[in-house]
Amino acid sequence: MLIQRPAGIASSEITDEQVYLNRRQFIRGAAGAAVGVATGGFALGGGRVAFAEGQDAIPNVTPGPFGTDETLNSFDDITSYNNYYEFGLDKRDPSRNAHTLTTEPWTIKVDGEVAKPADYHLEDLLKGVTLEERVYRLRCVEAWSMVVPWVGFPLSTLIDRFEPTGDAGFVEFTTAMRPSEMPGVRRQVLDWPYVEGLRLDEAMHPLTILVVGLYGKTLLNQNGAPIRLMMPWKYGFKSAKSIVQMRFTREQPRTAWNTSAPQEYGFYANVNPTVDHPRWSQKSERRIGRFFRQETLMFNGYGDQVASLYDGMDLRRFY
Ligand code: MTE
């Protein structure tokens, strides 16, 4: 992965948190009223509400488990300091360029080792899903981190519906690849499309979520609209954005970063401060918006939940 210079992000965390709390109260009130407003984006949970910025608020979001009370990064940090190489390599490029991505309609192809393969419309997949707020730490392999209030739901709820066969051992996630909408894919930085993968038990783990929003609103394109993964114990590159296909496989899938630089990016890519990246240390991280670096925790602090997934594995070898 290319190393990007810090973009000198100004932190306005305290103000944003207050705004956020006000917004949450607003969403709660609005959700009950289910105000219909004709704005872009798809309707979630049966109601649709617009903020001044033009994004949709997501009604009926319930607080989810595994939260942290660490200070949240501001909405501005989370939406303007991004990795989404399909829109450029600079941290600011996705927020400048990703508006060109068309996210409606959106279809996800499900195939491979499942009883119910199909091209599913996103609205159909989201019907009946309970959306939760999951406040997770996000640790990028580049050694920066954030705390993000995602809105999403366990990936396992969809996987159960697709009914994987007994031969399904892994899930491969392919993301959108649209040269006419994505200026970054004209450069061969990676072998496009961006593909990621998980072992089936990792995909079924309750911490693993599909994300459709953050800070109570539908995702902006730079964060992976309309739907992306989030596994908080793994380096951020595993959390593929704008997913268009899920394939259930017997074999471990090839993944974009692992294929392009296998000596630097493993398949598992669990956050591990004892295994340095060949070009930099992973012992500490720079929390965006803070001055001092902080220690990186094994499994990004989620070891109690996930360590048992890797019992008997040499975590240095299976990085
Ligand atoms: N997904 C796609 N399709 N393309 C990307 O370049 N970057 C990854 C991941 N998902 C990436 C992607 C990396 S390196 C990180 S750290 C996270 O997205 C960043 O997510 P964020 O921009 O929402 O913080």
- What b/e readout covers 101-119, taking b as 16+ CB neighbours within 10 angstroms? bebeebebebebbbeebee
Does any domain span residue 127?
A: yes
Model confidence over 224-239: pLDDT tens digits?
999 999 999 999 999 9
Closest to 102 measured CA to CA, from 188, 213, 181, 4: 181
- pLDDT of the residue at 53: 55
Mutate to test the pocket of ligand 1, among 81, 82, 84 (most ligand atoms within 8 A of CB): 84
Return the biggest CA–CA distance within the chain. 54
- pLDDT of the residue at 316: 85
- Ligand 1 neighbourhood includes 175 CB (under 6 angstroms): yes
Residue 289 and residue 14: Cα distance in Å, rounded?
11
Query: How far are the Cα atoms of 2, 151, 233, 291 from residue 257, in angstroms, in the given order?
Result: 11, 26, 18, 30
Tally of structural domains, the chain: 1
Looking from the CA of residue 241, the nearest atom of ligand 1 is 1
Q: What's 132's domain CATH number?
A: 3.90.420.10
Query: Domain range spanning residue 147?
Result: 64-307
- Ligand 1 neighbourhood includes 84 CB (under 6 angstroms): yes
Does any domain span residue 312?
A: no
- Ligand 1 neighbourhood includes 83 CB (under 6 angstroms): yes
Does any domain span residue 33?
A: no
Does any domain span residue 31?
A: no
Beta-carbon contacts of 296 under 8 Å, excluding residues fewer than 6 positions away, are 139, 143, 145, 271, 273, 282, 283, 284, 285
Residue minimizing CA distance to atom 2 of ligand 1:
241
Residue minimizing CA distance to atom 11 of ligand 1:
84
Does any domain span residue 267?
A: yes
Say if CB 212 and CB 154 are below 8 A apart: no
- Ligand 1 neighbourhood includes 296 CB (under 6 angstroms): no
| 193 cis-preceded (ω within 30 degrees of 0) | yes
Model confidence over 246-289: pLDDT tens digits?
999 999 999 999 999 999 999 999 999 999 999 999 999 999 99
Q: Please tell me the distance between residue 151's alpha carbon and the centre of ligand 1 in angstroms.
A: 17
| Residue ranges for the chain with pLDDT beneath 50 | 3-52
Backbone angles phi, psi at 230, to 5 degrees: -150, 115
pTM above 0.85, yes or no: yes
Beta-carbon contacts of 315 under 8 Å, excluding residues fewer than 6 positions away, are 270, 272, 275
Does any domain span residue 165?
A: yes
Residue 140 and residue 250: Cα distance in Å, rounded?
28
Burial of 314 (0-12, 13-18, 19+ CB in 10 A): exposed
Residue 79 and residue 69: Cα distance in Å, rounded?
21
Does any domain span residue 110?
A: yes
Query: How far are the Cα atoms of 100, 158, 198, 247, 298 from residue 201, in angstroms, in the given order?
Result: 35, 14, 8, 15, 19
Does any domain span residue 283?
A: yes
Mutate to test the pocket of ligand 1, among 85, 229, 241 (most ligand atoms within 8 A of CB): 241
